[in-house]
Structure 1
Amino acid sequence: METIGLIAGNGRFPVLFARAARARGLRVVAVAHRGETEPDLEREADSVTWVRVGQVGRVIRALKAGGVSRAVMAGGVNKVRSMFSLRPDWRAMRLLGRAAGRGDDALLRAVSAELESEGIEIVPSTVFLQDIVVERGHLAGPPLSEREAADVRLGCRVLAALGPLDIGQCVVVERGVVLAIEAVEGTDRTIERGGSLGTGRAVVIKAAKTGQDMRFDVPAVGPRTIETMVRSGAGVLAVQAGATIMLEGERLIEMAARQGITVVGCDEHGNVGQS
């Protein structure tokens, strides 16, 4: 039986990945992060080793002990919380010194290189879940107005400009004004901050960073995204097609339709219709 390794962060994505991999007959050897990964993963993976954020050596030992030669990184890590719970071992300290920067992509590239030096190849986390990658077009809710479509395009330009700085994947815009840009706080807090500054129809744009390595930190939205938008007064969710995953998609679409929230998949320029 083929084995796949799973380095699990937070959210539902690691659970869904493990379930999909086992459904295809693979053995799943997971490494989960305390305070981040959902305990439900224990029921979906064949084995789970719990570590603290920053224990790179333990991650490698657990995967090698499980016979892993290919692994995925699925789910994120709460950056604010990890500042206080980080427990870097000597391998983590070494790779931090070699990393090209302190942004998500730079750090994850360094972790990936460390794993690959031990014979563990990191592969895209969507390898068994292409069906949850967002397609281009109108997905739920009312059609975009011309003003909202312009806001989507503006948001995509902002994210494209910030991408090389490895900052964030989300921006909130309304009536041509940028209300919030994601930094260390994460997407939900960005939506809350931006929505609080809008008038009830703020536009949330989520997209991959320019040049992002799609093996990890794939942009993701789910039902919690819609819940946050409802609570914050945001009315449009635009996500980059082909580069964003939609967790529990049917539930997200149903919630958005019920709440009158527009959901669209767009290209990297913010265009929704076919070119």
Structure 2
Amino acid sequence: MAALREKIGIIAGAGQFPELVAEGARKDGFSVVMCGFVGHTDPAIESKADVFEMLHLGALSKLIQFFRKNGVTRVCFAGAINKPKALDVRPDLRAAKLLFKIRSKGDDVLLRAVLDELESDGLQIVQAAELVPNLRGPAGVLTKKKLTDKQRETLAYGIPIGEQIGAMDIGQCIVVRENMVVAVECLEGTDATIKRGAELGGKGCVAIKLLKPNQDERIDLPALGLNTIQNLVDGGYSCLAYYAGKTLFFDRDEAVALANEHGIAIVGVNDEFKSSLV
């Protein structure tokens, strides 16, 4: 009799991350039990799962029942949720009670509250990135274009501000130029922030994408990709900085090649690098 495969639950949002996590889980021998959300998750992702169900965002009871019914004890989050669309969520009774209990509706507070609910029903939350560790952006300068003294000065100014904004649970990305904050990510997301930053600041801006200081690293890691770099190219940016090891970097080889083509510097920031800026 064949041995039963261990099951992993995937809560899938938009983008390619859920598919990559599912593929990584299968390679590691897991059976994939996945749920997606109407209006956020590509229905085609169903082909990557052994068991799949599409739910409406806010159906917390059905989400938990789905995983428990299928024998799942470990769950990970993968993929983005469109934040403006999430404002139209119709919570079930359990989700409504959860929302009533919490004072802030910031990303971190909401996600931690949901995690607590899942864990209270015996579902252990694991980090999706552990199933695809090669997606973590490395430390150091990735591009042929190295950092100029001016860019290092801009990062020394902008990184602490980005961390303070993140600590207030506002956003993960800021745009800086000439020691001025040009744009701050809020509900609209990183791509829209980069575009707005270019409109306001002109050519030569620096984008900084950081993990919030109090962010639970099991969920909602910052993410970059080829589309991010294309937006930087279109906006005439000179530099992109991200948190090394704590940022998902999709299609990295193609993204770095595009940055090289247009003279954009990309740097993965760690504690050693931040110390060198002081």
Pairing 1:48–2:49 present: no
CA RMSD of aligned residues (A): 1.9
Distance in 2 of aligned mates of 1:90 and 1:235: 48
Is 1:57 the counterpart of 2:73 in the alignment? Answer: no
Deviations 1:168-227 (A, max 9, x none): 100001121111011111111110111112231211100100121101110110111112
1:82 counterpart = 2:86: yes
Between the aligned partners of 1:218 and 1:199, the Cα distance in structure 2 is: 28
2:7 is matched with which residue: 3, 7, 24? 3
Cα distance in 1, alignment partners of residues 277 and 27 from structure 2? 34
Q: Report the Cα offset of residue 115 of structure 1.
A: 0.7
SS of alignment partner, residue 20 of structure 2: helix
Q: What SS does the aligned partner of 1:77 have? A: coil
Q: Which has the larger radius of gyration?
A: 2
Matched residue count:
274
Contact 2:152 2:277 in 1 (8 A): no
Matches within 5 A, 1:122-141: 122-141=125-144
CA distance, structure 1, for counterparts of residue 277 and residue 17 of structure 2: 29
TM-score normalised to the size of structure 2?
A: 0.93
| 1:270 to partner: Cα distance | 6.0
Residue ranges of structure 1 left out of the alignment (5+ in a row): none
2:212 to 209, 213, 220: 209
Query: Is the counterpart of residue 19 in structure 1 residue 61 in structure 2?
Result: no
Q: Is structure 2 residue 236 aligned with structure 1 residue 233?
A: yes
2:151 equivalent in structure 1:
148
- Counterpart of 2:98? 95
Query: Residue 168 of structure 2 corresponds to which residue in structure 1?
Result: 165
Letter in 2 for 1:54: G
* Separation of aligned partners in 2, 1:215 and 1:32: 18
**Preserved contact between residue 180 and residue 194 of structure 1 (Cα < 8 Å):** yes
Tell me, which stretches of 5 or more residues in structure 2 are unaligned? none
Q: State the TM-score, normalized to the length of structure 1.
A: 0.94
Aligned-pair identity in percent equals: 38
Amino acid at match of 2:50: D
Instruction: Work out whether residues 33 and 50 of structure 2, in 8 Å CA contact, stay in contact via their aligned partners in 1.
Output: yes
Q: Could you tell me whether the CA contact under 8 Å between 2:75 and 2:126 is conserved in 1?
A: yes
User: How far 1:260 sits from its partner (Å)?
Assistant: 2.2
- The CA deviation string for residues 36-61 of structure 1, in whole angstroms up to 9 with x for no partner, is 12334222222221112111112111
* Counterparts of 2:46 and 2:258, CA distance in 1: 28
Whether the 8 Å contact between 1:156 and 1:269 is mirrored in structure 2 is no
SS at the partner of 2:58?
coil
Does 2:270 align with 1:267? yes
Is the CA contact (8 Å cut-off) linking 1:201 and 1:235 kept in structure 2?
Answer: yes
CA contact (8 A) 1:171 1:181 kept: yes
Q: 2:226 aligns with which of 223, 226, 234?
A: 223
Post-superposition Cα deviations, 1:47-80, rounded to whole Å, max 9, x if no partner, equal 2211121111121111112211000011221111
Contact 1:19–1:45 (CA under 8 A) maintained in structure 2: no
AA at the equivalent of 1:38: D
